[in-house]
Amino acid sequence: MKHLILLNDPPYGTERSFNGLRLAYALAKSDPESEITVFLMADAVLCAKTGQKTPEGFYNIERMLHRVFTVKGRVLMCGSGMDARGLTEAEVIEGASRSTMDKLAEATLAADKMLVF
């Protein structure tokens, strides 16, 4: 099954991105044949910023995105959202890709299920 998980919220301040990434990983563990695509829009593009430092015992969104890669998932980032926030490709984690609304439309049409956080 193909899952598309769309994240809109920033990495910290709310737990929506945190919960979306928890679900992405749980879906991949439950169905190893599934395909997981995480698309980061708006403030969620900051989830892919490299070098996040969080207090001991606090979740770290950067590490959670790396878990998506361990289950052969992909992470796409809205290019317009990146530009609006001054986020360059050099500042994002390895494996995350700048993307477009056209690619999001393709992923949406290809998905069996789409979840929005």
The CATH number of residue 25's host domain is: 3.40.1260.10
Q: Which positions ≥6 away from 43 have C-beta within 8 Å? A: 8, 9, 10, 81, 85
The contacts of residue 65 (CB under 8 Å, 6+ apart) are 21, 38, 47, 48, 75, 93, 96
What's this model's pTM, rounded to 2 decimal places?
A: 0.95
Count of domains for the chain? 1
Domain range enclosing 51 = 2-116
pLDDT tens string for the chain (117 positions)?
999 999 999 999 999 999 999 999 999 999 999 999 999 999 999 999 999 999 999 999 999 999 999 999 999 999 999 999 999 999 999 999 999 999 999 999 999 999 999
